[in-house]
């Protein structure tokens, strides 16, 4: 059974950098069959795609966040991570990590497994 | 960026009703369209991928159709557990944008 679990601080100060880690069990982050992605959701609002990382280390980021985002992976720990810098109150959200299935026999990909999400509040 | 527009933003329906939600892309995305269901306090769950393929384990009352720019999610007979918010997402190009969501409420 595939499981993803986000971890990191629940409260971060403005202008600081957020660091979140997603630990994957039941599947390898080094697999060529998947991307790994971060999605966020401000309280009471919709979903925003932050970016994705492939096992080769290649990344795609949302242009709206690109100057502040970086993603990495640690295959030895089966984890991938998100860093978001220069935080403001607008970055307050539930942050989800998810697995992106690349091959499904059609016009893929899709997000087939998600973590439970972690609420990050940006406040002094 | 490809903009995804869902309609309606919310709807009220009764158990047993047929419900249809539409999603329009700002440019053609072929069939790179997924539908997710989200319940309060929970992560989204994929229902439909590649516009019309039912994810394993999802009840057959859910169906999807469309290609190009116009897509539909249909719930044939609404059940109590279907009251939730539904999102479409295009996976054609980055950033892989979501629609704003459609909240299905009890009438």
Q: How many alpha carbons lie under 13 Å from residue A40 in its C-beta half-sphere?
A: 21
Question: In the prediction, which pLDDT does A108 show?
Answer: 85
- With beta carbons less than 8 A apart as the criterion, state whether B33 and B23 touch: yes
- Give the mean model confidence (pLDDT) for residues A10-36: 95
Question: In the prediction, which pLDDT does A52 show?
Answer: 97
Question: In the prediction, which pLDDT does A107 show?
Answer: 80
Provide the 3-class DSSP secondary structure of residue A6.
Answer: strand
Interchain contact, B53 vs A64, CB within 8 Å:
no
- Give the mean model confidence (pLDDT) for residues A82-92: 98
Provide the 3-class DSSP secondary structure of residue A90.
Answer: helix
User: To probe the interface with A, which of B5, B23, B43, B69 has the most A CB atoms within 10 Å?
Assistant: B43
- Give the mean model confidence (pLDDT) for residues A37-66: 95
Closest CB to A106: pick one of B31, B44, B96.
B31
Q: Which one-letter DSSP state was computed for residue B78?
A: -
Question: In the prediction, which pLDDT does A78 show?
Answer: 95
| Residue B97, both tokens | 């944008």
Per residue in A57-83, pLDDT tens?
Answer: 899 999 999 899 999 999 999 999 999
Angstrom distance (rounded) from CA B82 to CA B104: 8
Q: Is the pLDDT of residue A113 over 90?
A: yes
Q: Is the pLDDT of residue B103 over 90?
A: yes
B5 forms bridges with which residues in the sheet?
B24
Q: Write out chain B residues lying below 8 Å of A104, CB-based.
A: 49-50, 53
Per residue in B43-97, pLDDT tens?
Answer: 999 999 999 999 999 999 999 999 999 999 999 999 999 999 999 999 999 999 9
Interchain contact, B91 vs A110, CB within 8 Å:
yes
Question: In the prediction, which pLDDT does A80 show?
Answer: 97
In chain B, DSSP assigns E strands to 4-7, 10-13, 19-25, 33-38, 45-49, 53-54, 62-67, 70-75, 85-90, 102-106
Sheet holding A3-7, edge to edge: A3-7, A18-25, A79-84, A69-74
Interchain contact, A96 vs B43, CB within 8 Å:
yes
Angstrom distance (rounded) from CA A73 to CA B44: 23
């Amino acid at each position: 059974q595939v499981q993803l679990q986000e971890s990191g601080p629940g409260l971060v100060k403005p202008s600081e950098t957020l660091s979140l880690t997603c630990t994957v069990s039941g599947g390898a982050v080094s697999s060529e069959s998947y991307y790994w992605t971060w999605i966020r959701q401000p309280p009471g609002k919709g979903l925003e795609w932050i970016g994705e990382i492939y096992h080769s280390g290649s990344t795609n980021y949302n242009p709206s966040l690109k100057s502040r985002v970086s993603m990495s992976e640690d295959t030895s720990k089966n984890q991938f991570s998100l860093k978001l810098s220069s935080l403001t109150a607008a970055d307050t959200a539930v942050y989800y990590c998810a697995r992106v299935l690349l091959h499904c026999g059609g016009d893929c990909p899709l997000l087939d497994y998600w973590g439970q999400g972690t609420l990050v509040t940006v406040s002094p | 960026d490809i903009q995804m527009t869902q309609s309606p933003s919310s709807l009220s329906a009764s158990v047993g009703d047929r419900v249809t939600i539409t999603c329009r892309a700002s440019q053609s995305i072929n069939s790179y369209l997924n539908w997710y269901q989200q319940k309060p306090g929970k992560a989204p769950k994929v229902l439909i991928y590649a516009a019309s393929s039912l994810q394993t384990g999802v009840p057959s009352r859910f169906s999807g159709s469309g290609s190009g720019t116009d897509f539909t999610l249909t719930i044939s007979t609404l059940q109590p557990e279907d009251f939730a918010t539904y999102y479409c997402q295009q996976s054609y190009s980055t950033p892989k944008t979501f629609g704003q969501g459609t909240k299905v409420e009890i009438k």
